A and B are shown apart, each in its own frame.
Chain A
Amino acid sequence: MKWEVVIGLEIHAQLATKSKIFSGASTAYGAAPNTQACAVDLGLPGVLPVLNAGVVSMAAKFGLATHSAVAKRSVFARKNYFYPDLPKGYQISQFELPIVHDGYIDIDLENAETRRIGITRAHLEEDAGKSLHEDFHGETGIDLNRAGTPLLEIVSEPDMRSAREAVAYMKKIHALVRYLGICDGNMQEGSFRCDANVSIRPKGQEAFGTRAEIKNINSFRFVERAINYEIERQIDVIEGGGEVVQETRLYDADRDETRSMRSKEEANDYRYFPDPDLLPLEMDQAFIDAVEKTLPELPDAKRDRFIQAYDLSRYDASALTASRELADFFECTVEAAGGEGKLSANWVMGELSGLLNKEGRDISTSPVSPERLGGMLQRIKDGTISGKIAKQVFEAMWNDEGDADAIIEKKGLKQITDTGAIEKIVRDVLDANPRQVEQYKGGQEKLLGFFVGQVMKATQGKANPGEVNKILKGLLSA
Chain B
Amino acid sequence: MYQKTIAELAAGLRAGEFSSEELTRSYLDRIEKHDEKLNSVLTLTASAALEAAKAADKRLKNGDATMLTGIPYLHKDIFCTLGVRTSCGSRMLDNFEAPYDATVTAQLKEAGAVMLGKTNMDEFAMGSSNETSFYGPVKNPWDLERVPGGSSGGSAAAVAARLAPLATGTDTGGSIRQPAALCGVTGIKPSYGRVSRFGMIAFASSLDQGGPFATCAEDAAHMLEAMSGFDRRDSTSIDRPVDHYAEGLAEDLCGLKIGLPREYFGEGLDARVGAAVEAAIEEYRTLGAEVREISLPNASLAVPAYYVVAPAECSSNLSRMDGVRFGYRCDNPRDLEDLYTRSRGEGFGAEVKRRIMVGTYALSAGYYDAYYLKAQQVRRMIRDDFVRAFEDVDIIMGPVTPTTAFKLGEKADDPVTMYLSDTYTIAVNLAGLPAMSVPAGMAEGLPVGLQLIGNYFDEGRLLNAAHKFQQVTDWHTRMPAGFE
Contact = CB atoms under 8 A, between A and B. Distances in A.
Interface string B91-106: 0010010111010000
Contact of A84 (B102, B200, B336): B336
Given A48-B233, A50-B232, A273 B372 contact: yes
Given A46-B200, A273-B316, A89 B235 contact: no
A89 B100 contact: no
Contact of B326 (A44, A88, A276, A277): A44
Nearest to B237: A48
Interface residues of A, number: 29
B319 A89 contact: yes
Contact of B316 (A45, A49, A89): A89
Contact of A47 (B198, B204, B327): B198
B234 interface: yes
B202 A46 contact: yes
Contacts of A80: 315-316, 319, 363
A42 interface: yes
B319 A47 contact: no
Interface in B192-233: 197-202, 204-206, 232-233
Contacts of B86: 45-46
B313 interface: yes
A43 B88 CA distance: 16
Interface SS of chain A: loop
A89 B360 contact: no
A78 interface: yes
B206 A82 contact: no
B143 interface: no
B322 interface: yes
Interface string B227-271: 000001111100000000000000000000000000000000000
Nearest to B312: A273
Contacts of A44: 98-100, 320, 325-326
Contacts of A90: 316, 319
B483 interface: no
A45 B324 contact: no
A245 interface: no
Interface in A272-304: 272-273, 276-279
Please classify how large the interface on chain B is, using the bins under 10, 10 to 19, 20 to 34, 35 or more: 35 or more
A47 B317 CA distance: 11
Contacts, number: 105
Interface string A78-93: 1010101001111000
B316 A279 contact: no
A418 B115 CA distance: 98
B377 interface: no
Interface in A27-56: 39, 42-51
Contacts of B318: 89
B306 to A, nearest CB: 14
A405 B387 CA distance: 82
B365 interface: yes
B289 to A, nearest CB: 36
B316 A46 contact: no
A293 to B, nearest CB: 28
A42 B93 CA distance: 15
11 contacts: A42-B326, A44-B326, A45-B86, A45-B96, A45-B326, A47-B198, A48-B198, A271-B315, A273-B312, A273-B363, A273-B372
